[in-house]
């Protein structure tokens, strides 16, 4: 194949998973690096669990990450349709070819019989695989099963005369003994294709050149290779990504860990730029010299990406690393853009109704402290409404109640005479004043800042005085004095 054609093929049985996003990113990068095509295929043959809501979430999540596809359900058909549920006749055509060439047979075993067979193999410490007992059914046996109402599934006859070998672009040479596979189902009893048949046919028909996917699919690869050979179809190059583990090296769980790109990350205030940067480093190892060299935008990733730099060891999902990237990209955002992205969180919290100059000033003061957009209501609440706090917050470390009351009362006197509340004016004034009244500068600035913000951590005293101005600042300081008295 001269053209690089990659794909991501999620099943719409759940929200877009972080692992699927990683698969999409690496396939997208490979296609973009070599001016190829990136395809989105929806593998919706699980009729019970596939929903339109999940499909839309997958498409929305990929678009939010910036991973647009060249071909997919919403594009004109090139080698589509791109939903497997719309390709059933194609799968049946290839299944009939295998039947005609005596490379497949109908299996009438019931789920209960198959379960008994598996249990017996486990008891005997044998690898679970189908025994092949339906391979040579007589016409009488078939009629008997059909009269019982049994619906057969179609099984592929696995040739056991040679081992399946292929070169994985990440793991290197891989070999499987087909005798351990057993004849596997390719058409289910309801006539719908099994995953293994559909994916083999689709990859060939869609001219996929490279399949980059999770190593949980490694065991499917020999089956796909055998099917492709039996159908005389071209096969793609395979690259199987290492697993993603938690920092304690346990497997990520949908129930215990945040894994949904849209609900667990986007909606919680992570930026797509940070997500892409973080996901790219889950298993990909660029040649870095220091922490700064771990910062990659999509265009930089296209230039740097190479399959040879994908590691074999498990990738570790480090939440603190993601927070670091998100904080970095938040600090790099222009103020207007950051305010636009923060607006929905502020509106939901009931703090504002629309963007204005006050909002911009408030966000500017907390931008350096923000790790997630969802933190903005908590960080800025005191800018928009009077803070609630305990009087003890006003007392700085090493000070006492009397010192604090004195500091606040004296500061009110000097602030009443001042009209310029800009930082350049107010900072030297208060620092000199603390010496004059013989109160440590920290014992003076801490209670003022606490009175204005009601928080143990916030922007600095001078920034807050400048933000609130004379009237609001004095009002909040007077309230603090009353609380202490």
- Full strand arrangement of the beta sheet holding 172-176: 172-176, 164-168, 237-241, 210-214
Identify the bridge partners of residue 125 per DSSP, sorted by sequence position.
none
Q: Annotated catalytic residue: which of 133, 163, 254, 340?
A: 254
Long-range residue pairs from 472-477, CB within 8 A, at least 24 positions apart, any chain: 473/415, 473/421, 474/412, 474/415, 474/416, 476/386, 476/387, 476/451, 476/452, 477/408, 477/411, 477/412, 477/415, 477/448, 477/451, 477/452
Q: How far apart are CA 474 and CA 476, in angstroms?
A: 5
Respond yes or no: is residue 289 known to be catalytic: no
Q: Are 241 and 214 in contact (CB under 8 A)?
A: yes
* Residue 24 vs residues 95, 252, 302: alpha-carbon distances, Å: 29, 18, 13
* Residue 51 vs residues 47, 67, 194, 267, 346: alpha-carbon distances, Å: 8, 22, 18, 21, 32
Q: Are 188 and 218 in contact (CB under 8 A)?
A: no
Catalytic residues: 254
């Amino acid at each position: 194949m001269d053209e690089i054609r990659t794909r991501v093929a999620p099943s719409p049985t759940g929200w877009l998973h972080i692992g699927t996003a990683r698969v999409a990113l690496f396939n997208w990068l490979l296609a973009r690096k070599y001016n190829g095509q990136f395809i989105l295929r929806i593998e919706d043959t699980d009729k019970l669990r596939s929903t339109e809501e999940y499909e839309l979430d997958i498409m929305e999540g990929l678009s939010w990450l910036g991973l647009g596809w060249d071909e997919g359900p919403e594009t004109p058909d090139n080698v589509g349709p791109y939903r497997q549920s719309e390709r059933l006749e194609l799968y049946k055509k290839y299944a009939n070819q295998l039947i005609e060439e005596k490379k497949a047979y109908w299996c009438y075993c019931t789920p209960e019989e198959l379960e008994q067979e598996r249990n017996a193999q486990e008891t005997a410490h044998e690898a679970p695989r189908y025994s092949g007992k339906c391979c040579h059914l007589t016409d009488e046996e078939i009629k008997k099963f059909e009269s019982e109402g049994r619906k057969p599934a179609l099984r592929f006859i696995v040739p056991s005369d040679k081992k399946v070998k292929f070169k994985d672009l990440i793991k290197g040479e891989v070999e499987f003994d087909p005798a351990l596979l057993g004849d596997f189902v390719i058409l289910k009893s309801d006539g719908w294709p099994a995953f293994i048949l559909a994916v083999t046919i689709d990859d060939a028909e869609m001219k996929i050149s490279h399949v980059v996917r999770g190593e949980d699919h490694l065991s499917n690869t020999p089956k796909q290779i055998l099917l492709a050979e039996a159908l005389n179809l071209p096969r793609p190059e395979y690259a199987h990504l290492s697993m993603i583990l938690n920092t304690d090296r346990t497997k990520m769980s949908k129930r215990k860990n945040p894994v949904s790109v849209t609900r667990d990350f986007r909606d919680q205030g992570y930026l797509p730029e940070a997500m892409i940067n973080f996901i790219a480093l889950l298993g990909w190892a660029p040649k870095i010299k220091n922490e700064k060299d771990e910062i990659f935008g999509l265009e930089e990733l296209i230039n740097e990406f190479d399959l040879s730099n994908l590691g074999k060891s498990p990738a570790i999902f480090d939440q603190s690393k993601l927070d670091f990237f998100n904080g970095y990209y938040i600090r790099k955002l222009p103020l207007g853009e950051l305010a636009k992205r923060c607006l929905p969180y502020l509106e939901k919290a009931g703090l504002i109704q629309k963007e204005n100059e006050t909002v911009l000033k408030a966000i500017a003061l907390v931008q350096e402290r923000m790790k997630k957009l969802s933190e903005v209501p908590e960080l800025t609440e005191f800018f928009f409404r009077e803070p609630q706090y305990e009087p003890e917050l006003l007392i700085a470390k090493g000070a006492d109640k009397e010192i604090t009351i004195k500091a606040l009362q004296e500061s009110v006197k000097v602030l009443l005479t001042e009209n310029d509340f800009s930082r350049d004016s107010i900072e030297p004034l208060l620092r000199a004043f603390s010496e004059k009244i013989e109160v440590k500068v920290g014992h003076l600035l801490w209670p003022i800042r606490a009175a204005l913000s009601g928080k143990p951590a916030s922007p600095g005293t001078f920034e807050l005085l400048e933000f609130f101005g004379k009237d609001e600042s004095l009002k909040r300081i007077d309230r603090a004095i009353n609380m202490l008295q």
